[in-house]
Amino acid sequence: MRPAARNRLDPYPSRCTETPDVLARNDPVVYGRHDRDAPFAAGQLVRYERDGFLILEPPFETAELALLQAELERLRASVGASDFVIAEPGDSTLRSIFRVHELSPLFRRLVRDARLVRRAEYLLGGPVYVHQTRLNYKPGLRGKEFYWHSDFETWHVEDGMPRMRAVSVSIGLSENTEHNGPLMLIPGSHRDYIACVGETPSHHYRESLRKQEYGVPDPDILAALTRRGGIKSVVGPPGTTVMFDCNAMHGSNGNITPQPRSNVFIVYNSVHNALQSPFGPEKPRPEFLAARLSFEPLEPIAGKLPPGADDGR
């Protein structure tokens, strides 16, 4: 069980009992009102509420994607050893780079792009800030799987995110096929909160970013979710963009094809959902995983991504 110091009112308890559980979601999925001012096409909000995710028509032009792809490679070649640079388990191959919006002027501009921010603001019902960013690399023949998980379960237990009021954006920077380990989502899984077992070890993030062992859903519950909702793979050309609810169950297979797969991942959180102390471990995870030094709302920037982008301030 958790220490008494963490025994405060918890709307979504997890990792505190010896048996898994399925709890009702007590938060809206879409906080904005369904009206003509929504930055979504007809029917998209209905699908988002039903499925917990929405695959968008690629919002970025070919020239913009080329800039992002070049920056992906520049960062791959330039970053050194650091806590925010994650290697594949049992290997030195690059897996992820976190806080890329602080490392790169172009990604700093991307997270403020009105095509993303306006949609996030609408889904979350007001101003948003960046909770986390990262580049995910899944190299050909060597990229390992990301096991099934709800991001919110981790963000709630280990980071202190109070409610389900965050949205993730994944933008493909390479072609994503059925075979090279694309993002997979379980439609409708966001409607239930899957409480997991096992008290979280100290500094769990150091291993979980390579291979997650806590906050992993029960196999029987996963099977029930997939029987109900199936599995949807997010496939498409570079620029394919998906927005998904923070509680949507997702993961990806390993990549045993020669074709690499990469994406940029942005998490927007409502300024009204700022992090508290963790609901599990005493010590919160580092800033590069969960922003808590500033919850200043983003000012959306309209227009195309420019070469040599400034910081958008």
**Could you tell me the domains of the chain?**
4-273 (2.60.120.620)
Percent of the chain past pLDDT 90, that is, above it, reads: 74
pLDDT tens by residue, 50-84? 999 999 988 999 999 999 999 999 999 998 778 88
pLDDT at 313: 45
Rounded Cα gap, residues 284 and 115, in angstroms: 32
The tens digit of pLDDT for each residue in 12-52 reads 999 998 899 999 999 999 998 777 788 998 899 999 999 99
Percent residues over pLDDT 70 in the chain = 91
Q: Residue 188 in contact with residue 48, Cβ under 8 Å? A: no
- In what order do the strands lie in the sheet containing 232-233? 146-150, 249-252, 183-185, 232-233
Q: Give the Cα separation of 87 and 120 in Å (integer).
A: 30
What integer is the mean pLDDT of 201-214? 53
Residue 120 structure tokens: 């996030």
- Please give the average per-residue pLDDT across 102-123, as a whole number: 97
Looking at per-residue pLDDT, the higher value among 214 and 26 belongs to 26
Q: Residue 198: which pLDDT band, with cuts at 50, 70 and 90? A: confident
Sign of the C-alpha dihedral computed for residues 194, 266, 182 and 72 taken in this order:
negative
Cα-based distances in Å from 106 to 49, 74, 131: 31, 11, 18
- What per-residue confidence (pLDDT) applies to 90? 74
Q: What is the pLDDT of residues 260-286, one digit of tens each?
A: 999 999 999 999 999 999 998 888 999
| One-letter identity of residue 165 | R
Q: How far apart are CA 241 and CA 263, in angstroms?
A: 9
Q: In a 10 Å sphere around its CB, with 0-12 CB exposed, 13-18 middle and 19+ buried, how is residue 104 labelled?
A: buried
- The pLDDT, as a whole number, for residue 37 is 82
pLDDT of 199 strictly over 80: no
For 74, residues 6+ apart whose C-beta sits below 8 A from its C-beta are 104
pLDDT at 129 over 60: yes
* Tens-place pLDDT, residues 162-193: 999 999 999 999 999 999 999 999 999 999 99
Per the listing, tokens 């100290």 go with 202
* H or E stretch covering 171: strand 166-172
Task: Kindly tell me the sign of the dihedral angle through the C-alpha atoms of 283, 20, 188, 181.
Answer: positive
Which residue pairs, CB below 8 angstroms and at least 24 apart, start in 43-52?
48/123, 48/243, 48/245, 50/187, 50/188, 51/185, 51/187, 51/188, 51/190, 51/229, 51/232, 52/185, 52/187, 52/188, 52/189, 52/190, 52/191, 52/244, 52/245, 52/247, 52/248
Dihedral, 158, 164, 166, 172 alpha carbons, nearest 10: 80
Report the candidate in 280, 246, 253 with the shortest Cα–Cα distance to residue 48: 246
Q: Which two tokens stand for residue 295?
A: 């919850």
SS3 187: coil
Average pLDDT over residues 113-133: 98
Which pTM value belongs to this model? 0.92
